[in-house]
Homo-oligomer: A and B are copies of this chain.
Amino acid sequence: MTKLKVFLPINPQRGDIPDHFEAFQKFQKEFDVIIRPMSSDLEEWKTALAGELSDISAIWITNVVFTLAGEFNSLIDFFPPSLRVIAVPWVGHDRFDGVRLREKGIVLCNVGDSSAKDVADIALYLALGTFRYTSYFDKAFRENKCDITATRRVIGGTDYHSETKQPLVSNDPARLNWAKYMTVGGKSMDSPSGKIAGIVGLGAIGKEIALRLWALGMKIVYTKRTPLSEEEVKALPYEPVYYSSFEEMVPHVDLLALAVPNTPQTENLINENTIKLFKKGSRIVNIGRGNAIDEEVLLKALDDGTLNSVGLDVFRNEPKVDKRFADRFDVVLAPHLGSFTMDNFRGAAERTIENIRNVIVDDGPGICPVN
């Protein structure tokens, strides 16, 4: 019996093949896995799909899709009838036209919640940084050649430099009263404990974020199209408070955590109107998708004190991000590395294999179908 074919197109410069995992090695024995370097030229793809790839059952997506000169979706009409599943070995799938794939009978799968813990860890890291300004202090401590006294001189300060966006040392000796003025750049160093964390999207990632923030002593509130069931709530170590809309929830939160996918509903969730709903001195972290935030509005809110600080792992214009973030002491930054761990890539490979096998061997709907 001939083996079913799985196409794994790779970037010639950077082939993301998890062939060090046992699960992948078994997968390569079970299926005819065609690992083929593909250029950015869509014509090469079309020719291959009509020729040697005309009987593939599955496509295992890799980073090669980011290099294509044009839309991956323009290939959909050229997919062979044998193709049954496209498996994305990560979470975000907004690049792929699920509706058109479904029309052609092709299941689109992602890895579901397999990266939830890793992404939530980064949300937590960003949250801690927004409360404690650790990102600024780490950098300043290094610049001060590990002189603690010099590094702490900004504490109690009332302002930051309008150009450099770096905190200023106060000229007022009264501000050196640390028992009174735990500020940096005029922004308060706060404890998350006892404060309110609002989660937008209490799915797998949102729940992991909430668990971590609860462990800090935060109270959890959330908004979601439908509230959690009683059973779901019982499974949590805390009792989250539900708000039926983002606008209702925002005025109550000290920290807003955005864990939403890229959809028309989440586009510019933070905009010039919703920003007015926040308590003065709130914090925001975003690990979902960059376009949930109007970044001009965000930068203005940091300057006018609406926001004390923000933490960002995702941005509107990746991979070239607004340079103004780079200078700010009140922003914690990560270069979209939410899922970047050895462990996550093992889990993602395993989940991708399960998705493919479920559709093409077991005639199932996919383990994590998204279309």
Chain A residues at the B interface, C-beta cutoff of 8 Å: 13-20, 62-63, 89, 117-118, 121-122, 124-125, 128-129, 131-132, 134-135, 137-142, 145-149, 151-152, 155, 173, 176-180, 182, 188-194, 211-212, 214-217, 237, 315, 318-323, 325-327, 332-337, 340-345, 348-349
Contact = CB atoms under 8 A, between A and B. Distances in A.
Given A135-B138, A137-B337, A345-B179, A173 B118 contact: no
Identical copies of this chain, number: 2
Nearest to A10: B177
Contacts of A340: 132, 155, 178, 182, 189
B335 A173 contact: no
Contact of A132 (B142, B145, B341): B341
A83 to B, nearest CB: 22
A75 to B, nearest CB: 22
Contact of A343 (B129, B194, B214): B194
A336 B138 CA distance: 11
Contacts of A134: 122, 125, 334, 337
Contacts of A315: 146, 148
A287 to B, nearest CB: 12
Given A138-B135, A212-B215, A214-B215, A16 B178 contact: yes
A91 to B, nearest CB: 15
A148 B318 contact: yes
